[in-house]
Amino acid sequence: MFDKLFQAQQKAEEIKKRLDTISVSGEAEGGLIRVVATANKEIKEITIDPVFLSNADKEELEELLVVALNKAIVQAESISQAEMQAASKDMLGGLGGLFNQ
């Protein structure tokens, strides 16, 4: 039984490492603001078009940053959930034998 739990823990670590290698992005204003993050929801890059930046006011910039960040986080969450669901199915299949012994 502990073997199965250890395997599940290892699988979770593998998923976390894989999610660190997957990039997602969110954009606002047609790409004038772009946020890149990992599927583990770690922000890696924020790009703001220099012309837009020179003409934008603080409030507008803040609102659009929130939009772009939220889009990236939604994508990251979607990928993370899909990975976890796939892993759960694998683990539950393996745990089935635990109760049949």
Q: Which CATH number belongs to the domain containing residue 46 in this structure?
A: 3.30.1310.10
DSSP 100: T
pLDDT digits (tens, 9 = 90+) for 73-91: 999 999 999 988 887 777 6
Whether 101 maps to a domain, the answer reads no
pLDDT digits (tens, 9 = 90+) for 4-56: 778 778 888 899 999 999 999 999 999 999 999 999 999 999 999 999 999 99
* Cβ-contact 53, 61 below 8 angstroms: yes
> Does 99 score more than 60 pLDDT?
no
Residue 36 lies in domain = 17-96
Whether 22 maps to a domain, the answer reads yes
* Cβ-contact 72, 22 below 8 angstroms: no
Q: What is the pLDDT of residue 101?
A: 46
Please tell me whether the overall predicted TM-score, pTM, comes out greater than 0.85 for this model.
no
Task: Please count the structural domains in the chain.
Answer: 1
Of 12, 21, 53, 57, the closest CA to residue 39 belongs to 21
* Cβ-contact 76, 39 below 8 angstroms: yes
Whether 3 maps to a domain, the answer reads no
